[in-house]
Amino acid sequence: MSVERETHQPNVTITGLAWQRNVELEHEQSDRIREEAASDDFWKPVAQRFVPPEKGDSGPDNTVEQLKEFIEPKDTVLDVGAGGGRLAIPLAEYCVQVTAVEPSQAMRERLIATARVWDVENVSVLSDRWEDIEVAPHDLVVCAHVVYTATHIEHFIAKLTSHARKTVALISFETPATSNYVPLWKLVHGEDRITLPTLPNIEELLSEMAIWYRKTPLESWISRPFVSRDQAISECESRLFITPGSRKSEMLADALDDSLVEVDGGYRLGWAEPHRPWIISWNA
């Protein structure tokens, strides 16, 4: 018998409508600029960025440390949009079971391979999108860096709440996750990138939905460097929807020649800023 709780259908909010339009405009821009058919798995070229650090390493930030505070050993955790298991795998050590919801096959493959390396056996993986999935409630629902592209955001959020027995912990950056790539758009595509909703929009939305949340700052962290110039070109091509070998690919390589700086472990865009994440949590 299903123990899923009924999902309350929330009203559409003013912020939700603006959010929807923002996401649509960003997607329209991506589709217009894209030089070849969209890949069937957007996350494939960058999936390696979303795995946890080596077992025993503390990693670049304190997200897992903070999330642990919401968990008791007998709890279950649902990680919505788990990526390569960056949070799901280390959290598995502190609870009885983690369910990772992850629609990208490339991400799921990373997650499963990494769980094996970590010797973690209490993580199960579901491949549907959050909007479509049927899953039982868990004690803690984690959703990190996923809502930015969500449409019908009020339903997405309401479903997170209805699937948490205790707490929802939503993690968002202060500024758009792809901010560091934005200056390349003007240099290569000749236009400003439309950026997705982020923390201020989430806060506005939760207030309109009468969800009373707490804010916990997390340590800021800077993305892992590109290991080589070639990797920088290939990741930036995919982020900017550029076909390898095209005229724009040459423009991108020139732009990167001027903007990559050598750092410990590889190369970074000279203007790259650290990401500032927050946990936004509320009681179910």
Ligand X SMILES: C[S@@+](CC[C@H](N)C(=O)[O-])C[C@H]1O[C@@H](n2cnc3c(N)ncnc32)[C@H](O)[C@@H]1O
| Stretch 144-163: interaction string toward ligand X, x if CB under 6 A | xxx--x--------------
**What is each CA distance from 68 to 165, 168, 201, in whole angstroms?**
16, 13, 26
| Stretch 15-54: interaction string toward ligand X, x if CB under 6 A | ----------------------------x------x----
- Judged by beta carbon, residue 61 or residue 208, the one nearer ligand X is 61
Cβ–Cβ under 8 Å, residues 35 and 241: yes
- DSSP 8-state class, residue 40: S
Q: Taking CB under 6 A as the criterion, which residues in 119-148 touch ligand X?
A: 129-131, 144-146
Count the residues of the shown chain that bind ligand X, applying the rule CB under 6 A: 20
- Judged by beta carbon, residue 149 or residue 231, the one nearer ligand X is 149
* 64, 76, 92, 102: residue in contact with ligand X (rule CB under 6 A): 102
Q: Where are the alpha helices (DSSP H) in 56-189?
A: 63-68, 88-91, 105-118, 153-162, 182-189
- Judged by beta carbon, residue 35 or residue 61, the one nearer ligand X is 61
Instruction: Copy the structure tokens of residue 186.
Output: 């003007």
- Judged by beta carbon, residue 152 or residue 229, the one nearer ligand X is 152
User: Looking at beta carbons, which residue is closest to ligand X?
Assistant: 83
CA atoms within 13 A on the CB side of 88: 34
- Judged by beta carbon, residue 170 or residue 269, the one nearer ligand X is 170
Question: Please, what is the minimum distance in Å from the beta carbon of residue 147 to ligand X?
Answer: 8
| Stretch 59-98: interaction string toward ligand X, x if CB under 6 A | ---------------------xxxx--xx-----------
User: What is the binding site for ligand X (CB under 6 A)?
Assistant: 43, 50, 80-83, 86-87, 101-104, 107, 129-131, 144-146, 149
